[in-house]
Amino acid sequence: MMTKVGEVLLLLLLPAFVPHTDGTHYSLPGKPTELKCRSPEKETFTCWWKPGSDGGLPTTYALYYRKEGSDVVHECRDYHTAGKNSCFFNKNNTLIWVSYNITVVATNALGKTYSDPLDIDVVYIVQPHPPEKLEVTVMKDQGWPFLRVSWEPPRKADTRSGWITLIYELRVKLEDEESEWENHAAGQQKMFNIFSLRSGGTYLIQVRCKPDHGFWSEWSSTSYVKVPEYLHREKSVWILVLVFSAFILLLLTWLIHMNSHSLKHCMLPPVPGPKIKGFDKQLLKSGKSDEVFSALVVSDFPPTTSNYEDLLVEYLEVYMPEQQELMVDKGKDHDGCLKSIGLASDSDSGRGSCDSDNLLMDKSGAPKEEQQQQNQEGDQIGKETQGPKEAWEKEAMPCANEDVVSPDASSEKVKTWPSVFSPVTPYSPLDPHNSLEMHKQHCLSNTQFPPGSPSSDHYIKEALQSSYWEVCFNNNQPYPQTEVHPQLQAHSDRNISAVNDRNAPTGLLLPTRMTEYVEVQRVNEENKVLLHPIPSGHSREKACPWVGQRDDYSKVKGVDSDNGLLLQREVVEEESMEMAGAAESCYTSSIAFTTPKPTACSPVALPVQDERVLAVSGYVDTATVFSVHT
Amino acid sequence: MQLETILPVCSPAHKQSFVLCVVAMCRAVPINDLIYRASQQSDKLHALSTMLTQELGSEAFPIDRVLACHTSSLQTPTDKEQALQVSESDLLSLARSLLQAWSDPLEVLSSSTNVLPYSAQSTLSKTIQKMQEHSKDLKDGLDILSSKMGPAAQTITSLPFIQTNEIGQDKITKLLSCFRRDSHKIDSFLKVLRCRAANMQPQVC
């Protein structure tokens, strides 16, 4: 009987020791993985692991740890509090600022398998529970609703004593499917306000926390809140805005309509029609081109040569009396432009007026020669005016002042204004008075003529349509005071008044010897011509720069009773291009223009010297001022 | 009259801290603000050291079984109950001692960065420099704070750092691990201290 029971037992136990016929293989347990420990409040901590395969046999797991500085191996005492495959370390077993070396062992019938060890320090693995008691309320701020969110720290975290410092974060979302979470950092606060809500919308809110040096907690459970409707208030504002802007728009439209005409003028200024003499718009409109073109044929165009002589100014006499008072006749034309007598006025004759040409200064060798050449001038002038005129215009360009051009153009009186140069910058520092006259300046060219000329006379030549004339300067001494002043006299409706604002009128002096070229610097509002010597060879781009020590005939002091143009001579010592100190040693020279009388400026009056005259840069073109013919 | 007689609390030994002390005294900066400011500095200091260890790779920083820091001899609380029982003055004294113990090692670290692989060098030197600055600021602040808190707070335990001629890479990583822990201790003590101070804003603690 006993043996039979034993046999049965053996039979029963046999399968346990005999491999199955289906091939199952028992093995060591798999290595436990993903060992992770966390502490929610820096007082306790829990470790979890993930078991490996069990090798077909029942497997048990054990956690062993060692503390820093000790070789004693301890085993976890609590495998249950934290759930399956976990180990819970309670307060008594938890030390901070001490590192633990933790290992998990899987054991089955066949053997043990150790996991990889994990070294932790409790203070570095803090991950709190989510915040609790999340509350959301809708509050109103002057009719506009907002959400007030409040919460409590997780129960176990001791923030009161400062043991744990928590930082919070919340997120908000509309109940829409397409909405995204909107995160807000709340610092250490336990309360937060959310504004700009959608009227009538439903919001979802969650909050989480993190210790100062640790891991974020999980998100708390969601709170739902519905925002009441407040649309009508917002709408009324928009309606008001719309009505107001519509009203403004209507007003603007009405205004524009009322002023459409003047607006049109303002925005689209009328284009000046053609002003060709003899051109008849009406004829053109009527479409009869023959009549139109025949109307253009004017009897006196092109001018025949006989006219040239009438228009020619043969010469201007300049002489320098000992003491000459400035005779200043203020011109009526205060914009400084001189009328050219005998020239047809044309309001839009372009550059031919004030801005273009220099006063032609010609120095001649001997007075007698000049006289002889005067008669030849006429023809020469006629031929040469066109050529040099452009040259002069070009030279005049850099110095031209736009301001001067415009009054010329606009005034019907002035046609050809002798070169209006406006070297604004150089002059302003020099003389404060001049600043008033900046807008009209004349440059008298003061370039040296071909050096061969022995005499040093200045001539102003009056050309034809451009109406240049020569002004004879006698300039023998560089220094002012007491020179015999040549006077240029001219008959003209308008007189050039000389500028004498720099010094007390000491009379107009014209040096008698040197031939220099003066630029008419400007003409001030009193029709004073300011003459300004042009250094030889100087680039014209500089607005009449001063070079070295020169006599400066930049200012016309006045016109005497004999229609002489009294120029003011100044000596300029140039230090720098800015002409800073040039205002100082100045004296006035006077140029008196005399028309047809060929009085001798000692040397002599002003014959034109052919190419030299015309080719030299810097001419005073005061053609329009004087009526050459008496 | 010399300032030292007016404000005997401030020690003129170190010029900068003396000036700060005088200024603080004259302006009567409340202790709460000082502590709050100090805790912010310690927080920043620890954050820097954590960032450093993470950037250099956590595998370079095994927490050894025996982390033999030069500051290990200093007795510090090992759990919450112990920590909450330490007096304010002692807390401050511990913090200051630890801080003082690291001024030399940080100096050594900053000059030894060439030992590390090149990619880590610039990060290391920059971060160590920042840590030194924060450390200095914190030290000055704690000096003033301790002067307001009585003689117990003035004690500083000396924890000398014995500098070897060469510092190998493993020594560097060990030092950085030690510093990470010690900076966390300082931070914790100061944060406990700031909630301990009376009239602390309720939202902070």
- What is the three-class DSSP state of A570? strand
Contact yes or no for A159 and B50 at CB 8 A? no
Closest CA to B179 of B97, B106, B76: B106
Model pLDDT for residues A218-252, shown as the tens digit of each residue: 999 999 999 988 766 667 788 899 999 999 999 99
Name the closest residue on chain A to residue B45, using Cα atoms. A213
Rounded (10°) angle between helices B103-110 and B169-196: 140
Nearest chain B Cα distance for residue A72, angstroms:
11
Q: Is a pLDDT exceeding 70 seen at residue B97?
A: yes
Out of B65, B80, B204, closest to residue A68 by CB: B65
- B39, B61, B67: best to mutate for the A interface, most A CBs within 10 A: B67
A160–chain B Cβ distance below 8 A for any pair: yes
Taking contacts as CB-CB distances below 8 angstroms, the residues of chain A near B66 are 68-69
pTM of the model: 0.52
Separation of alpha carbons A69 and B66, rounded Å: 5
Name the closest residue on chain B to residue A100, using Cα atoms. B65
- What integer pLDDT is reported at residue B13 of this predicted model? 66
- What integer pLDDT is reported at residue A306 of this predicted model? 57
The answer to whether the peptide bond before residue A603 is cis (omega within 30 degrees of 0) is: yes
- What integer pLDDT is reported at residue A523 of this predicted model? 55
- What integer pLDDT is reported at residue B200 of this predicted model? 58
- What integer pLDDT is reported at residue A575 of this predicted model? 43
- What integer pLDDT is reported at residue A504 of this predicted model? 42
Separation of alpha carbons A42 and A30, rounded Å: 32
> Is the Cβ–Cβ distance between A590 and A568 less than 8 Å?
yes
Q: Could you give the residue range(s) of every CATH 2.60.40.10 domain in chain A?
A: 33-121, 132-230
Taking contacts as CB-CB distances below 8 angstroms, the residues of chain B near A39 are none
> Is the Cβ–Cβ distance between A507 and A567 less than 8 Å?
no
- A37, A97, A98: best to mutate for the B interface, most B CBs within 10 A: A97
The fold for domain A33-121 equals: Immunoglobulin-like (2.60.40)
Contact yes or no for A159 and B63 at CB 8 A? no
Q: Name the stretches of chain A with pLDDT < 50.
A: 19, 326, 328-347, 349-350, 352-353, 355-512, 536-548, 573-616, 620, 623-630
- B50, B92, B188, B189: best to mutate for the A interface, most A CBs within 10 A: B188
Contact yes or no for B191 and A212 at CB 8 A? yes
- What integer pLDDT is reported at residue A589 of this predicted model? 41
**Assigned token pair, A295:** 């109307």
Which whole number is the average pLDDT over B65-93? Answer: 86
Separation of alpha carbons A76 and A63, rounded Å: 6
- What integer pLDDT is reported at residue A395 of this predicted model? 44
Closest CA to A234 of A199, A202, A200: A199
Beta strands in A43-122 (DSSP E): 45-50, 60-67, 73-75, 86-89, 99-108, 111-114, 118-121
Select, from the ranges A446-455, B47-56, B116-125, the one with the highest average predicted confidence (pLDDT). Answer: B47-56
> Is the Cβ–Cβ distance between A619 and A469 less than 8 Å?
no
Name the closest residue on chain B to residue A160, using Cα atoms. B205
Separation of alpha carbons A135 and A133, rounded Å: 6
Separation of alpha carbons A5 and B82, rounded Å: 65
Size of interface A-B (CB pairs under 8 A): 73
> Is the Cβ–Cβ distance between A137 and A191 less than 8 Å?
no
Nearest chain B Cα distance for residue A174, angstroms:
29
A212–chain B Cβ distance below 8 A for any pair: yes
Place of tokens 């001899």: B73
- Look up residue A124 and give its DSSP letter: G
Separation of alpha carbons A431 and A421, rounded Å: 16
Q: What angle do CA A446, A450, A451 make, to 5 degrees?
A: 95
Out of A69, A165, A189, closest to residue B66 by CB: A69
Model pLDDT for residues B134-174, shown as the tens digit of each residue: 999 999 999 998 888 878 778 888 888 887 666 777 788 88
Contact yes or no for B63 and A99 at CB 8 A? yes
A44–chain B Cβ distance below 8 A for any pair: no
A186–chain B Cβ distance below 8 A for any pair: no
- Look up residue A437 and give its DSSP letter: G
Contact yes or no for B187 and A212 at CB 8 A? yes
- A101, A116, A125, A161: best to mutate for the B interface, most B CBs within 10 A: A161
**Assigned token pair, A399:** 């110095």
Neighbours of A468 (CB within 10 A): 37
Alpha-carbon distances, residue B63 vs A69, A427, A547, B71 (angstroms): 12, 85, 88, 16
CATH no., domain A132-230: 2.60.40.10
CA neighbours closer than 13 Å in the CB half-sphere of residue B34: 24
- Strand-strand pairing, A182-187 and A358-360: unpaired
Closest CA to A125 of A187, A190, A183, A41: A41
Helix intervals (H) in A176-304:
231-258, 260-267, 281-286, 289-296
Separation of alpha carbons A240 and A56, rounded Å: 81
- What integer pLDDT is reported at residue A444 of this predicted model? 41
Q: List residues bridging with A533 in a β-sheet.
A: A518
Nearest chain A Cα distance for residue B148, angstroms:
21
Taking contacts as CB-CB distances below 8 angstroms, the residues of chain B near A43 are 79-80
A98–chain B Cβ distance below 8 A for any pair: yes
Neighbours of A102 (CB within 10 A): 22
Name the closest residue on chain B to residue A123, using Cα atoms. B184
- What integer pLDDT is reported at residue B18 of this predicted model? 67
CA A267 to mean position of chain CA atoms: 25
Separation of alpha carbons A347 and A405, rounded Å: 12
Name the closest residue on chain B to residue A159, using Cα atoms. B205
Contact yes or no for A99 and B64 at CB 8 A? yes
Burial A125-163 (b: 16+ CB within 10 A, else e): bbbbbbbeebebeeeeeeeeeebebbbebbeebbbeebb
State the amino acid at position A476 in one-letter form: N
Run of H or E residues at A488: strand A487-489
